[in-house]
Amino acid sequence: MDLTVLIETVQQVVIPVEKPHRILLTKVDSRSLGEVLEAQNTLMQIGIPACKTFIRAYKAHEELRLRVC
């Protein structure tokens, strides 16, 4: 997870236009839940609102996507 690019984008593009926003982390590996919680906390500590939930990535979703495409 590269928070640096996300933070820079929010600070340079989203905040200046003064639009309400909140970050939702997606495609989260269920084996790295600690990292996700740390990322959410980091975002909130620097003043970027983050959803208290996230969307996990499951192998079954990837397999389904490959079949559909």
- pLDDT tens digits, residue range 1-20? 589 999 999 999 999 999 99
Single pTM value for the model: 0.75
* Alpha-carbon span 20 to 10, nearest angstrom: 11
Phi, psi of 47 (to 5 degrees): 90, 15
Q: Whole-number mean pLDDT of the chain?
A: 87
pLDDT at residue 44, as a whole number: 96
